[in-house]
Structure 1
Amino acid sequence: MTSFPALLAAAFLLSASAAVADSRVFIVPNHSDGYGIDQCLAKGEKCGAYAAQSYCQSRDFAEATSYRQIDADEITGTVPASVGNSCAHGACNEFLAITCTR
């Protein structure tokens, strides 16, 4: 016979693993917006939280858990030429990683 605490522990482990599994990292080009939001996101500063949150919510995720600038060599796979060659305001080949969760 299974005890209630064992069932509760199993339910907790299943719910925790489901939450971890439902996250995604988005790689986006870092374009200057003229307001400094790009730098807030790139440096992981608190001022970028709202922009990262909005980005995640626009893709049907609940929240942004992290955001930061990444180097192009950290990206596995290919970067489309139209993204990689954009040089808006001197920010050539700079990318952001935004981690979103449901």
Structure 2
Amino acid sequence: MRSSALTACVFLLAASAAFADSRVFIVANQADGYGVDECLARGEKCGAHAARSYCQSREFAQATAYRRVDPDEVTGAVPSHGGDKCSGHGCSEYVAITCQR
């Protein structure tokens, strides 16, 4: 009986470790005219396929989340242009895609 309990514990630990392997990718969101960028940036359902394809191209099984991020959220790595906020299509926006194995 002990060996089956030990085997079950090892299996659960292995399974939880596999699910814990996730990574967040920050990608530039550039308007392409197809609307995919808006779906990703707004976290809308229509962006799910694009996010999943992005993850699969990096050898992950699925996308668990995707959303627009402010340049300030990217640990200050993205330079800002002073105090003015740009919101037009010519401005750089970023999308965070969380991929999981």
> Once superposed, what is the RMSD of the aligned Cα atoms?
2.4
Indicate the percent of aligned positions where both proteins have the same amino acid.
56
Give the structure-2-normalised TM-score: 0.79
- Are 2:52 and 1:76 equivalent residues in the alignment? no
Structure 1 counterpart of 2:7, one-letter code: L
Cα distance between partner residues in 2 of 1:54 and 1:11: 29
Measure the CA separation in 1 of the matches of 2:10 and 2:24.
Answer: 28
Summarize the alignment of residues 23-38 of structure 1 with structure 2, pairs less than 5 Å apart: 23-38=22-37
Count residues with an aligned counterpart: 96
Unaligned 5+ runs, structure 1: none
Cα distance in structure 2, aligned partners of 1:90 and 1:36: 12
Q: Secondary structure at the match of 2:2?
A: coil
TM-score by length of 1: 0.78
SS of equivalent residue, structure 1 residue 90: coil
Q: Distance in 2 between matches of 1:49 and 1:68?
A: 11
